[in-house]
Structure formats: C-alpha cells, structure tokens
Amino acid sequence: MTQPLSLEIAQLLRELAPHALGAVIRRFHEFAPAEDAVQEALIAAATQWPQAGIPENPRGWLIQVATRRMTDYIRSESARRQRENEMAMEATRTPEASAIESASESDEDDTLVLLFMCCHPALTPSSAIALTLRAVGGLNTAEIASAFLVPEATMAQRISRAKQTIKSSGIPFQMPSLEERAQRLRAVLHALYLIFNEGYTTSAGPQLRRADLSHEAIRLARIVHNLQPGDPEIAGLLALMLLTDARRAARTNADGELIPLERQDRSLWDQQQIAEGVALLSAALPKGSVGPYQLQAAIAAVHDEAARPEVTDWPQILALYELLRRMSDNPMVALNHAIAAAMVHGPGKGLELLDALQKDPRLAHHHRLDAVRAHLLERAGDHQNAVEHYRAAAEKTGSLPERNYLLAQAARLARDGT
C-alpha cells in the first residue's frame, strides 16, 4: 500500500525539480522529453521515498532516474540512432558515478541556466515567462493561466509553442553572456516576480502560501542580483520580495486562517528582512531609472515601517501608485491604486475607480475585484451589497484560506445587520 506523501518530501521534490530538469537538459539538450522524464522521476520518488526513506543524495537520485527515462525515450526514436549510441554509452555508467557527478554539478548554475534559457529572445515575452513558471517554478497550467489572467486552454497552447520553439531553434543550455543576459533580464525578473507571488499567496489549494516557491524566487533573485549588482531594478525586485515576505509569520493564525494586513501582529514581522530590503532599495533609488519593482518595493517599505496601521502614510502610497500606474497596464496595480485612493479620499473615490475597471476582461472572473469592492462597500456603510460581493469573491477564488476569510466577512456583516 502506498504511503501518504509527507510535507517534507513534497517540498523537497518541488525544490529539486528545476535542478533535476536543468541537469537533464544540460546532458540531453531536449526540453519537452526532459520535462517528461523528470516528471516520471518525481512520480517514482513520491511512490518510493515514503516507504524506503529519502536517499542520501536525493538530487542525484532524481537525475539518475530521469536519465534512464530519457535513455528509454531516445532508444524508442528510430530516427535518432546516432544519438541513441551516444546516450547508450552515458547510460552504461554506474549509479555511483552518476551520483558523484550529480553531487558535483552546481545546483545554482543549472537552475539559473534553465531560467535564462526559458527566457530566450526567440520566445515572445509572455511565452518565455510562462515556460519559466512551468520549468523553474513548477506551476501547473491552471496556476500560470491565473497569473496571466487568461483561459487555461490559451496558456496550454502558449507553453506548447514555447517548448517547440526551444526545440527547433537549438537554443544551447549554457549561461548567456552579459549582453545576452541584458536582453532576457526583463522576462527573467517578471518570471521570478510571478513565482514569488504564487508562493506568497497561492491561487488554489488548502494553504495560503507555498514557502518553497517564495523562498526559491528569493534565492534566484539573490543570484541574479549578484551577477549584476549595479542594476537598480534587480535590487528593487529583491527588496520587494524581502519586504513582502517579512510579514509571512503574521499572515495566518494557528489554524492557518488568513489575517489581513491591518489586523496583523507587527511584532511578528521579520525586522532583519525589512532592514535588508530597505537597504537595497535605498541604494537603488538614487541611481536613477526608477522602475516598477523599485516603486512596489517602496510601497512595501512604507507599509513595513508603519508601527501601527493607523500611522501608515497612505498619501505617499497613493502617490507611488500614481507613478506605477503610468508605467504599467497591470489591472492589479489599478485595484491597489483604488484601495489607496479610498484610504486617502474615502471609499466613494475608490468605488468610482473600481467602476472603470469593471469592463476589463482580465478581471471579469477574478475574485479580487469583488473582494476589493466588498471591502470598500463595507467602509462606505453599504453592508448588504458588501455581503453579496464578499460571497461572489469567495465563489471565484481557488484558495481555501481566502475563501474562508471572505465567507467569514460576509457572515459577520450579515449577522451584524440582523
């Protein structure tokens, strides 16, 4: 009988997946089959490790199993006989030799190379970011579609085309030059931003956050920052992640229930991460060329530096969102701008701004539009309509903690109104 998968093993497999994929692509130069092989290795690990225990070198174990799957795949391709001979020689090596090589390979390098390969300029920016979320972030198609605010079928086609482009273009699995990294940097940063966001607040499932994703995004952002320490937007993104992740311990109670920002115990916020984030941002801003990640980091810093919710500098936050809106057509930025406007000018102003977003097709089925509207209606004293929008938001979200929180708000207002 199969043993249930422990949280420790599940997190370990998710963390090791991009490392294993990078190593297999480096060896075989085939993206899609390598991804399939690694998935089979992950399934094998999920089946065997609960009973046999985690191997001494789990990464080497995954790479070895995926290598065998790739060898089987290559042998089944009659049109690739020459390559079959080369891979057959590779497959004859002992497991000990494979494990030694796996242990000696750089975890960081393989994942980082995979990150930059997925963001190759041969791909459109949206396809590059989607493929990165799949290969490096380990997100499924539905989660990626949610991040892009597009239908799942559309995203599945986009990812499939990206894999085919990688295959047909012969993109090498190697660290790009400084000039090539500059060409791919925007897509790399956006992919890391989305991976972090999915980890910080998951789009679906029983947990509010997936620490493995947010931590991996921070780790990779640190590496990219070390590669180009003078780039202010890289520093801004890393600062944003640190300033946001600093609140993680206060975001849920002992039962995993969501606690909104204004009700969090701020003594639980990680002051070391806040200090590091502020230092990064303070060094980046004077360099000029202020970009969206620096602005978002600045907004996060204003929140983090407020000792109590009532002393939050909302006029400054609103001014920062005004700048950010000029740079970005992101509807989530517009939603947050509406909240900031409501905090400065009253809920009526926020609701007025939301009306302008009502027809945006990217938000048509997103729960946050209803959730923000419900929050502002509650502040305006319209509890009946607030209840309806809290319930509507709860129906649209796939996150169980968010759904429970929204339903609890609706129940509270309905109870108070009777």
Left (φ > 0), alpha (ψ -120 to 50) or beta: where does 244 sit?
alpha
Say whether both 17 and 125 belong to one domain: no
CA distance 228 to 175: 14
Residue 138 belongs to some domain of the structure: no
Closest CA to 236 of 191, 299, 178, 326: 299
Say whether both 62 and 121 belong to one domain: no
Say whether both 94 and 124 belong to one domain: no
Residue 235 belongs to some domain of the structure: yes
Report the domain count for the chain.
2
According to the model, what pLDDT value does residue 346 have? 97
Say whether both 63 and 187 belong to one domain: no
Q: Each residue of 216-230: pLDDT tens digit?
A: 899 999 999 998 999
Residue 199 belongs to some domain of the structure: yes
Quickly state the pLDDT bin for 123 (edges 50, 70, 90): confident
Contact between 196 and 277 under an 8 Å Cβ cutoff? The reply is: no
CA distance 13 to 415: 45
Say whether both 26 and 66 belong to one domain: yes
The answer on pLDDT for 144 being more than 50 is: yes
Provide mean pLDDT across the span 334-348. 96
Say whether both 111 and 238 belong to one domain: yes
Tokens encoding 233: 């937007």
The range of the structural domain enclosing residue 10 comes to: 1-105
Neighbours of 258 (CB within 10 A): 19
Degrees, nearest 5: CA angle 388-389-394: 100
Say whether both 11 and 69 belong to one domain: yes
Tokens encoding 234: 């890289």
CA distance 27 to 22: 9
CA distance 332 to 193: 14
Contact between 69 and 94 under an 8 Å Cβ cutoff? The reply is: no
Q: Each residue of 348-399: pLDDT tens digit?
A: 999 999 998 988 888 878 999 999 999 999 999 999 999 999 999 999 998 9
Say whether both 224 and 119 belong to one domain: yes
Residue 320 belongs to some domain of the structure: no
Residue 118 belongs to some domain of the structure: yes
pTM of the model: 0.81
What count of residues does the chain have?
Answer: 418
Among residues 225, 260, 284, the one where a domain terminates is 284
Q: Each residue of 180-190: pLDDT tens digit?
A: 888 889 999 99
